Amino acid sequence: MNENPFLQPYTTPHQTAPFDKVKNEYYLPALKEGLVQGRKDVDAIVNNTAKPTFDNTIVALERSGDLLGKVASVLFNLNSAETTPDLQKIVREASPLLTEFGNDVTLNEKLFKRVKAVYDQRASLKLDTESKMLLEKTYKRFARNGANLDEKGKERLRAIDKELAQLSLQFGENVLNETNEFTMEVTDEKDLAGLPEFAREAAKATAKQKGKEGWVFTLQAPSYGPFMQYADNRELRKKLFLAYNSRGFQGNKNDNQEIIKKIVNLRYERANLLGYKTHADFVLEESMAGSKDKVQSFLTELVSYARPAAEKQYAELTTYAKAHGFQGDKLEQWDNSYYAEKLKKEKYSLDDEMLKPYFKLENVLDGVFTVANKLYGLTFKENKSIPVYNPEVKAYEVFDKDGKFLAVFYGDYFPRPGKRAGAWMNDVQGQKVENGVNIRPHIVNVCNFTRPTDTKPSLLTFGEVTTLFHEFGHGLHGMLANGKYESLSGTSVTRDFVELPSQVMENWCYDPEALKLFAKHYQTGEVIPAELIEKIRASQNFMAGVANLRQLRFGLVDMYWHSQQPTNESVTEVESKIDSLVNLYPPVKGIAFSPAFSHIFAGGYSAGYYSYKWSEVLDADAFEFFKEKGGLNNREVADNFRKNVLEKGGTEKPMELYKKFRGREPSPKAMLRRSGLIL
């Protein structure tokens, strides 16, 4: 135990995690010691004979379990970015222990009585805004998990949660089964006409893997997407489309229609049990939008702008298709991607192979640091004495404009066998103020970008460039955090607010002034030509009306399922009501998307799918403000954004923070302008 680094004070620069000293055998002993200490912390609060106060109950609970957090942050960061079979085994053992501890806290009746006693006297307490928010969040953490219910209610809540977990799992498994069980075999090479070589090679490899002749296409995205985009054979596109859009809707063992009804009814009952009118009311109480009426009016307003633009784009696409061999009167859904891809190439003459030479990873990283410097005065200095968990990871000290140390930033950019796919931001240490000391955060950005080759450096696609800026925006939200309480600090905000800093940063990728800072040819040093920048900007809005309408369709169906008392309507009846508002294509029998809508029935987005569009509105409105005031050359807006958004985390209601930054609530018109839907 004396050798276990988790159980000693860290002696590394800025007390960073000693990754070079951490061994697998240290995790569970340290975690178990953390659980012992965490329970002692909770017992000390519960057994305190003094009258419950904000400090001896709410703050004490906030400060409890430090060792647990210290160990878990390293364990789960590495399980995502640098895992091994042994580490996964440790996580499987650790996770139930942590879940049990969490339940023991929120269902502790004596502890909740103390929390409620403080909450009930909140009006007479002289608390600052941040402390009021901590009190409210702490109380809701208990109340929204059933702490106010009687024993019968708690028992029913546990039963509902158990059944919902099982149904959501079954829903996801059914979608996966339907996805995996379908294959489309092609034996005549003529049926591959239009497909690029990479799509043919992948289909050939799939056929070989399955012991088939010719080429095999599946419903997996890398196979389905290119076929729908490029394949000339319309009947095969239709076949693949129908298979994809009837998953969970075929009346077989994988059918999800009854599961949807059960999930919707149980969510409604759960919300009622906890005192809410509907599931949407329960979910949206803890959101920036605040209410189902606000979300509904938001989506409806966007439809009013997106539909006219989408109708024009659909008409343009139809005209183009008829000029290029289409025989019918109306394009079907399986024609959309195919003709849109052809029209896009004709309009913009742009692809990633033209852009990649200008986006060398090191240059892009230097570019995002430079943008952060121009906006917020930050500087980044690599420090090789800070331990890292893989030699490819780079650690930077981050300094403020006055030279004061601000944060540690880890950048981890290449795929490895032990790293999961995707891109994300985490912290290894959160920000908080304790005993008068501002403990600064340690932030991680993890991505999976194109590796260097023997002849070329890492050259990023434009999509990878925007991903790097996006994750760095989340990183800034963490690095600039400046609150008292860790649970309210940095990215600890509502789902429909957390993407604001990240998506604001993405906008600089389309900004000519910012691009010229870092988009330089890796061989010649030539700055990206203005005409390429214009092509990037112009193609950003291609078919934006149709794309917006598609997203709004998902959001409206989600709200229909969750914002009212459940009805006996079928999946088809529900979707038909929404499609009358947002679907331009002819209806197709035998398909529905709800039975495969995993985001809301097997994921965490129920009554929350609108968040995607909501975040776009926020970032477009915010970035328009940046541009109005001079972009990178005027630090006034950046200082305002930093003070009222990046530093504040979840210490105030997100809408109040946004209004302090912008001077008003966000307007959807900025997003509509950016998408070319209005002038």
CA–CA distances in Å: residue 477 to residues 17, 548, 652: 21, 27, 15
CB neighbours of 279 closer than 8 A, spacing ≥ 6?
Answer: 264, 267, 268, 270, 271, 562, 563, 606, 607
Distance CA 72, CA 338 (A): 47
E strands in 57-121: none
Distance CA 403, CA 326 (A): 64
Q: Is 283 exposed, middle or buried (0-12, 13-18, 19+ CB in 10 A)?
A: buried
Q: Tokens in use for 30?
A: 């340290």
CA–CA distances in Å: residue 556 to residues 237, 249, 263, 285, 586: 27, 20, 18, 18, 19
Instruction: Please provide the DSSP assignment of 386-425 as one string.
Output: S--SSTT-EEEEEE-TTS-EEEEEEEE-S--TTS-SS-EE
Closest to 595 in 3D by CA, of 171, 166, 180, 164: 171
Distance CA 130, CA 474 (A): 21
Residue 526 is given by DSSP the state P
Catalytic residue of the set 471, 499, 575, 624: 471
Q: Among this protein's residues, is 471 annotated catalytic?
A: yes
CA–CA distances in Å: residue 30 to residues 14, 15, 40, 347, 451: 21, 17, 15, 60, 36
Q: Is 377 exposed, middle or buried (0-12, 13-18, 19+ CB in 10 A)?
A: middle
Q: Tokens in use for 139?
A: 């109380």
Closest to 247 in 3D by CA, of 171, 182, 175, 180: 175
Q: Which residues are catalytic?
A: 471
